[in-house]
Amino acid sequence: MKVVVLAGGKSGEREVSLNSGAQVKRALEAGSHQVDQVDLDGETWDLLRDGGYDCAFIALHGRLGEDGTVQGMLQVLGLPYTGSGVLASALCIDKVRTNRILGQAWLCIPEYEEVDPFRVSHERLEGLIRDLGLPLVIKPVREGSTIGLTIAGDIEQAASGLLAAGACDRRVMVQQFEAGTEITVGVLAIPDLQVLPTLEIVSENVVYDYEAKYTAGRSRHIIPARISPAAEKAARSAAERAFVILGCEGMARVDMIVDSEDRPWILEVNTVPGMTELSLLPDAARAAGIEFVELCDRLVQHAVALGPR
């Protein structure tokens, strides 16, 4: 088939997206597809409309790629595309709305509040710390890859963290810190729903931040995660439920913390997870017997089978 890989874009995850796109392109070419990689810009509409493509593989992370925007454009063009549709994409990029929906389904979500980062008084910040405790997690509502994230140990760090997050998004959330084992659970639906093995993240950095994610040697993956059988079952169930409740399609990755009582606390749901050689979902898929070339091919085949949405 003739496939266009959309990568790059304008979000803070641009470089990671370009890397994901390049590796997806190589994998699809290895599967005998004809592939173009396109950077999302003002001329993309005409190229997609006139390019004669059978499918678009979305490797765009963050805003304009993971938030339903490009999905809507592709739907207007009638071009099949990989991954979730407009609604699920828009919901999952918005951590506050994701939390509200999953919390109403009785999944474990750390306590949180959304704030205007530039209008939080000293007294208000003291109240947030009193209610949610220290350390306090501060992050943009609509960013990924821990961009703009701060884990604040005191009120001064919290104040700085609000400004850092506010520089990335006018909407910011502060959240209770949950201690435990950091894991992620990938879910595929291409077409049958498959929950991938749990993957434990061990970071050389204090926080599993942007550097740890994308610098070789700064983190490692342990599959399956070193958690109890009860926690394994609970985490896989929570990932599957989150995927279904939010209406995800194709693939998603659910990031969690498993606490000392085996409870999986959901941190976020990624509908366009990283597809680099260091990325989590491809690693978990390999552990389930799905090599990268097969994974990319199955995502495209599924998208074409779905047709224009």
* CA separation, residue 258 to residues 173, 179, 200, 266, 269 (Å): 21, 8, 10, 9, 15
Q: What's the mean per-residue pLDDT of the chain?
A: 94
Just list the catalytic residues.
Answer: 13, 145, 214, 253, 255, 268, 270, 274
pLDDT band at 276 (very low <50, low <70, confident <90, very high): confident
Cα torsion for 16, 17, 22, 27, to the nearest 10°?
Answer: 100
pLDDT band of residue 167 (cuts 50, 70, 90) is: very high
State mean pLDDT over 136-143. Answer: 95
pLDDT tens readout for residues 61-91: 998 899 999 999 999 999 999 999 999 999 9
pLDDT-derived band of residue 243, with 50, 70 and 90 as boundaries? very high
Residue 30 pLDDT exceeds 70: yes
Q: Is the pLDDT of residue 194 over 60?
A: yes
- pLDDT of res. 42: 61
Q: What was the pLDDT predicted at 231? A: 98
pLDDT band of 132, cuts 50, 70, 90? very high
**Count of Cβ atoms closer than 10 Å to residue 188 Cβ:** 23
Residues 6+ apart with CB under 8 A from 54: 1, 2, 3, 80, 304
Give the pLDDT confidence score for residue 44 in this predicted structure: 86
pLDDT, mean of residues 271-289: 93
Most confident option among 39-53, 63-77, 197-211? 63-77
pLDDT over threshold 80, residue 208: no
Contact 280, 186 (CB under 8 A): yes
Q: Which residues pair with 186 in a beta bridge?
A: 253
Residue 215 banded pLDDT, cuts 50, 70, 90: low
β 172-176/250-258 pair status = unpaired
